[in-house]
């Protein structure tokens, strides 16, 4: 497993669970040391147990040496990150190129290399040429692209029981290799879609583009609901009973963030431009804008509740992770809003059940509290921006006893307005009257 971030570490532990001997490689020595000691460097339910079980079995270990990994593996999974390029929409392929270039010259025997990273269409074909040119085993190195659809917070489940497997292959040998690797999942009934390399690359970004579009669709409806004095949560519920639409990814609120959806739709637009079909994806620009507008709207609601100014106002922000059950703060809507309130003069106190360390590292200028009540003490306003279960279950009377003013913005439509208003709170939410 080349790269041991969310994807690689999860895949390494899950492949060990499936009975394989696994080596996880990372260029980050600290990460390798922590993983080797059974200390998962990020929060992911079920994964720490699986990691420790794998290490104890003696079939899972971690290394920083490409020679070690190349020598060891019959199958090499490339799981490195593809972040957004600084100042551009396109994906930064530096890590993918580095992984393939480092691995290729060290492959003297028959093996299978499987790309799992999310990449622009056409990358796999380039990597196939690179392997052919630089691997001593040349045409005996098969390449496949098998995108990963795991959600943070559900990574173990999504890896061991995925909705589907997509095998992008250029020849029968690569398909045979993948079918062997995933035999247990295929036997358990997981559907397999076999495609060419470019289609497999596109499936991944198309899936994320669809999910982002669904979220922005309901958030656009939220904008209309606000103007029409209607309730987007009821609208969404009513839509959800139509099986053709479905209720998942139809929660209106602060919108999507994280290390995947935002950068993937932008990289998809950039690649479409290079392919000469930018018009086909111009709607994604709107999806992106609707999403970012929700953050502005949350700030407007907050300003309305603090009588038009944030200067000197104490604001509690509940939630820092980009979504619950994760400590990931990459492109977190909650922290973006918190940071902008801080810039506008508010005294912001942030609390998150898991993401405090990652939030502090990225936003050191914000102030952090050790609990919901500590963050909310003497607050003029509370913003609930990531819908962790402990925030959903908050007792409005208890929180009301520590704040200075009972005013709350529910950025995720996760609280019951009736009980909060009954407890004397001024309650505002996105897309609700
Ligand atoms: C997403 C996809 O769901 C995975 O299938 C994919 O594998 C992954 O990206 C990836 O490309 O690696 P993830 O980023 O973990 O997974 O998070 P999601 O559960 O998709 O949530 C993304 C964002 O959308 C979060 O900020 C969440 O709060 C927001 N969201 C989600 C909404 O605002 N409304 C919803 O109804 C659902």
Number of structural domains, the chain?
3
Per the CB < 8 A criterion, the answer to whether 249 and 72 are in contact is: no
Q: Is the same domain home to 285 and 303?
A: no
Distance, CA of 429 to chain centre: 24
Give the mutation target among 205, 261, 337, 391 for probing the ligand 1 site: most ligand atoms within 8 A of CB.
Answer: 261
Dihedral sign for Cα atoms in the order 202, 203, 204, 210? positive
CA pair distance 143, 185, nearest whole angstrom: 21
265: Cα within 13 Å, side-chain hemisphere: 24
* Residue bearing the CA closest to ligand 1, atom 28: 323
Q: Is the same domain home to 264 and 377?
A: no
Q: Specify if 1 maps to a domain.
A: no
Domain of 298 in residue numbering reads as: 293-429
Q: Is the same domain home to 17 and 147?
A: yes
Which one of 265, 289, 313 terminates a domain? 289
Query: Residue 415: its pLDDT value, please?
Result: 98
Evaluate: CB of 261 within 6 angstroms of ligand 1.
yes
Q: Is the same domain home to 72 and 98?
A: yes
Per the CB < 8 A criterion, the answer to whether 318 and 253 are in contact is: no
Evaluate: CB of 329 within 6 angstroms of ligand 1.
no
* Residue bearing the CA closest to ligand 1, atom 11: 260
Give the mutation target among 211, 222, 288 for probing the ligand 1 site: most ligand atoms within 8 A of CB.
Answer: 211
Phi, psi of 88 (to 5 degrees): -135, 160
> Is 111 a known active-site residue?
no
Model confidence band, residue 255 (pLDDT cutoffs 50, 70, 90): very high
Mean predicted confidence (pLDDT) in 46-62: 98
Query: Residue 375: its pLDDT value, please?
Result: 98
- What value does the mean pLDDT of the chain take? 97
Q: Is the same domain home to 188 and 228?
A: no
Q: Is the same domain home to 72 and 169?
A: yes
CA pair distance 412, 281, nearest whole angstrom: 28
Which residue, among 217, 210, 159, 224, has the nearest Cα to 185 in the 3D structure? 159
Q: Is the same domain home to 127 and 224?
A: no
Q: Is the same domain home to 59 and 109?
A: yes
Q: Specify if 172 maps to a domain.
A: yes
- Encode pLDDT of 357-405 as tens digits: 999 999 999 999 999 999 999 999 999 999 999 999 999 999 999 999 9
- Encode pLDDT of 264-307 as tens digits: 999 999 999 999 999 999 999 999 999 999 999 999 999 999 99
Q: How many helices (H) and strands (E) does the chain have?
A: 19, 13
Which residue, among 41, 83, 93, has the nearest Cα to 62 in the 3D structure? 41
Residues 6 or more apart in contact with residue 178 via CB below 8 angstroms? 112, 114, 144, 146, 165, 167, 169
Domain containing residue 209: CATH number: 1.10.1040.10
Q: Specify if 200 maps to a domain.
A: no
Q: Is the same domain home to 54 and 97?
A: yes
- Encode pLDDT of 122-167 as tens digits: 999 999 999 999 999 999 999 999 999 999 999 999 999 999 999 9
How much distance in Å is there from the Cα of 208 to the middle of ligand 1?
8
How much distance in Å is there from the Cα of 400 to the middle of ligand 1?
32
Evaluate: CB of 150 within 6 angstroms of ligand 1.
yes
- Encode pLDDT of 158-210 as tens digits: 999 999 999 999 999 999 999 999 999 999 999 999 999 999 999 999 999 99
Burial zone of 1 (CB within 10 Å; 0-12 exposed, 13-18 middle, 19+ buried): buried
Strand, coil or helix: 259: coil
Q: What share of the chain is helix, strand, coil (3-state, %, to 5)?
A: 50, 15, 40
Which residue, among 198, 158, 196, 190, has the nearest Cα to 175 in the 3D structure? 196
Q: Is the same domain home to 77 and 172?
A: yes
Which one of 264, 289, 314 terminates a domain? 289
Phi, psi of 103 (to 5 degrees): -75, -45
Domain containing residue 412: CATH number: 3.40.50.720
How much distance in Å is there from the Cα of 10 to the middle of ligand 1?
17
CA pair distance 266, 288, nearest whole angstrom: 8
Which one of 256, 289, 322 terminates a domain? 289
Which residue, among 353, 348, 430, has the nearest Cα to 394 in the 3D structure? 353
Q: Specify if 334 maps to a domain.
A: yes
Q: Is the same domain home to 284 and 298?
A: no
- Helix residue spans in 229-322 (DSSP H): 232-240, 261-274, 282-305
- Residue-wise over 14-43: b if at least 16 C-beta within 10 A, else e? bbbbeeeebbbbbbeeebbeebeeeebbbb
pTM exceeding 0.85:
yes
Query: Which stretches of 26-153 are assigned E, i.e. beta strand?
Result: 60-63, 75-78, 111-115, 141-145
Q: Is the same domain home to 49 and 95?
A: yes
Model confidence band, residue 252 (pLDDT cutoffs 50, 70, 90): very high
Evaluate: CB of 208 within 6 angstroms of ligand 1.
yes
CA pair distance 249, 432, nearest whole angstrom: 18
């Amino acid at each position: 497993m080349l790269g041991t971030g969310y994807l690689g570490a999860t895949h390494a532990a899950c492949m060990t669970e499936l009975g394989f001997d696994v080596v996880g490689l990372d260029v980050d020595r600290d990460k390798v040391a922590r993983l080797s000691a059974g200390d998962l460097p990020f929060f992911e339910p079920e994964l720490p147990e699986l990691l420790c079980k794998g290490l104890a079995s003696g079939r899972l270990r971690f290394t920083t040496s490409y020679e070690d990994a190349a020598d060891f593996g019959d199958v090499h999974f490339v799981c490195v990150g593809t972040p957004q390029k600084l100042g551009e929409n396109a994906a930064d392929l530096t890590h993918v190129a580095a992984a393939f270039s480092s691995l290729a010259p060290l492959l003297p025997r028959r093996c299978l290399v499987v790309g799992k990273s999310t990449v622009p269409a056409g990358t796999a074909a380039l990597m196939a040429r690179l392997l052919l040119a630089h691997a001593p085993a040349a045409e005996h190195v098969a390449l496949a692209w098998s995108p990963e659809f795991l959600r943070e917070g559900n990574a173990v489940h999504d890896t061991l029981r995925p909705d589907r497997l997509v095998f992008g292959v250029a020849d029968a040998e690569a398909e045979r290799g993948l079918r062997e690797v995933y035999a247990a999942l295929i036997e358990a009934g997981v559907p397999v879609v076999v495609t060419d390399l470019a289609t497999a690359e596109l499936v991944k970004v198309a899936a994320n583009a669809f999910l982002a579009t669904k979220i922005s669709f309901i958030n656009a409806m939220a904008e209309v609901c606000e103007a029409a004095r209607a309730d987007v949560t009821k609208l969404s519920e009513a839509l959800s009973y139509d099986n053709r639409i479905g209720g998942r990814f139809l929660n209106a609120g602060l919108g999507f963030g994280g290390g995947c959806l935002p950068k993937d739709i932008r990289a998809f637009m950039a690649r479409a431009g290079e392919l000469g079909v930018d018009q086909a994806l111009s709607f994604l620009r709107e999806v992106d804008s609707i999403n970012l507008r929700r953050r502005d709207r949350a700030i407007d609601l907050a300003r309305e509740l603090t009588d038009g100014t944030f200067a000197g106002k104490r604001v509690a922000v509940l939630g820092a992770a980009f979504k619950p059950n994760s400590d990931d703060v990459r492109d977190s809507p909650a922290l973006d809003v918190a940071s902008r309130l801080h810039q506008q003069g508010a005294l912001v106190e942030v609390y998150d059940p898991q993401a405090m360390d990652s939030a502090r590292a990225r936003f050191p200028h914000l102030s952090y509290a050790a609990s919901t009540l500590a963050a909310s003490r003497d607050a003029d306003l509370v913003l609930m921006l990531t819908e962790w279960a402990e925030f959903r279950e908050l007792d409005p009377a208890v929180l009301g006893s520590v704040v200075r003013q009972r005013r709350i913005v529910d950025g995720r439509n996760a609280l019951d307005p009736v009980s909060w208003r009954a407890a004397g709170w001024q309650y505002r939410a996105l897309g609700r009257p």
